[in-house]
Amino acid sequence: EVQLLESGGGLAQPGGSLRLSCEASGFTFSNHAMSWVRQAPGKGLEWVSGVSNSDGSTNYADSVKGRFTISRENSKNTLYLQMNSLKAEDTAVYYCVKGGWGNYYDYWGQGTLVTVSS
């Protein structure tokens, strides 16, 4: 059974940083691209970033480019999202999603809430 377990969410101050993690199980993590998607309270879904399985290539939405960094550690079956220079508009539930970069999207985690507020 595929499982994606996000962690690391919480309260951060504007201008601060947080690092999200997503621990994957039930599939060969190193063989699949992975992505982050977020959803602000009461709003729609927004694709944030993706990382390939092959060479670690990355892509970002314009709204987070230069502030967020996606990475993966295949030996630990874990995906990360380093979020710097946080803004109030980054407040959202962040979902880890299996897929992207030429792989189709299939499984979603349950999400972790990030709140940016002073």
Q: Does 46 bind another protein (CB under 8 A)?
A: yes
Q: Does 45 bind another protein (CB under 8 A)?
A: yes
By beta-carbon proximity to another protein, the closer residue of 27 and 105 is: 105
Q: Does 27 bind another protein (CB under 8 A)?
A: no
By beta-carbon proximity to another protein, the closer residue of 9 and 99 is: 99
Cα of 90 vs its chain's centroid, Å: 12
Angstrom distance (rounded) from CA 16 to CA 32:
31
Pairing of strands 92-98, 34-39: antiparallel
- Closest to 4 measured CA to CA, from 94, 102, 103: 94
Site for another protein in 74-103 (CB under 8 A): 95, 99-101
Q: Which of 69, 105, 113, 115 binds another protein (CB under 8 A)?
A: 105
Which strands, in side-by-side order, build the sheet including 92-98?
10-12, 112-116, 92-98, 34-39, 45-51, 58-60
Residue numbers at the binding site for another protein (CB under 8 A): 35, 37, 44-47, 50, 59-62, 95, 99-101, 104-111
